[in-house]
Amino acid sequence: MKYLVLLVIVFVGLWWIRQQRRVAPTPQNKSGPQIMVACAHCGTHIPDNDAIHGTQGVYCSPAHRNSHES
Ligand SMILES: [Zn+2]
């Protein structure tokens, strides 16, 4: 019983440390949240910065833009 209480205290301590870490800002490679867009051809979600913008939507690659818009 004594060990059970000790175990609970250890788990609560670990949980608390995790909570503290979650509050701290996580380093991001790019500033701001990434806007994800779906490819109009295959539906793959890609960051808006990397998307190929066509006349009928956005695409994951120039090949998909060509095959969708031709
Ligand atoms: Zn695609």
Could you tell me which of 65, 26, 9, 23 has the C-alpha nearest to residue 42?
65
Taking the alpha carbons at both ends of the chain, their separation in whole angstroms is: 73
**Overall average pLDDT of the 3-22 stretch:** 90
Domain that holds residue 47: 2-69
What's the structural domain count of the chain? 1
Question: pLDDT value at position 26?
Answer: 61
CA angle 27, 47, 29 (to 5 degrees): 20
Tell how far the Cα of 62 is from the centroid of ligand 1, in angstroms: 9
Q: Which residues keep their CB under 5 angstroms from ion ligand 1?
A: 39, 41-42, 44, 60, 64
Is the model's pLDDT at 66 over the cut of 60? yes
- 24 vs 36: CA distance, rounded Å: 24
**In the predicted model, what is the mean pLDDT of the chain?**
88
> Does the structure show a pLDDT above 70 at 31?
no
